[in-house]
Structure 1
Amino acid sequence: MNTKAATRPTTPETPVTKRPRGFAAMDAATQRRIASEGGRASHLSGRGHRFTSEEARAAGRKGGQASRGRDNTQGNAAE
């Protein structure tokens, strides 16, 4: 006896639409509340980090520098 759940056969004419599950299925306010609790817990445990404006500026510069030398091909940046 097969114990797998019954699945619908898929054809090109009837694509299967996935329904959101878990966190994605919650309304935005509930997601925000849960994420906020996690952030608070992180800071209370001493693992959280709040960027200063200077740190944020430096991180933005690093990201910009990392993306500048790349071309549109996948592989190493052209030198």
Structure 2
Amino acid sequence: MAEREKGAMTVREAGHKGGEKTKERYGEEFYEEIGRKGGKIGGETTKERYGGSFYEDIGHRGGQKVKELIERGKTLRGEK
């Protein structure tokens, strides 16, 4: 791994530092508030827009992808 220049930071470190500064300035409630879109919590807007079955569909697709990756890994390891 290459050495970093003195004073350099990763993108992750910079993001964390910025988040901490924002929390100091506006408080934790600020993050709670921006987490709500139009006064709604979490996926309520998405559910209204696409319907409840949307989450079932993307969950199924995700499960199928995981299943496919597991099978591919077993094949590569010679387990099948």
**What TM-score do you get using the length of structure 2 for normalisation?**
0.42
Bigger radius of gyration among the two: 1
**What TM-score do you get using the length of structure 1 for normalisation?**
0.42
Which structure carries more helix by proportion? Answer: 2
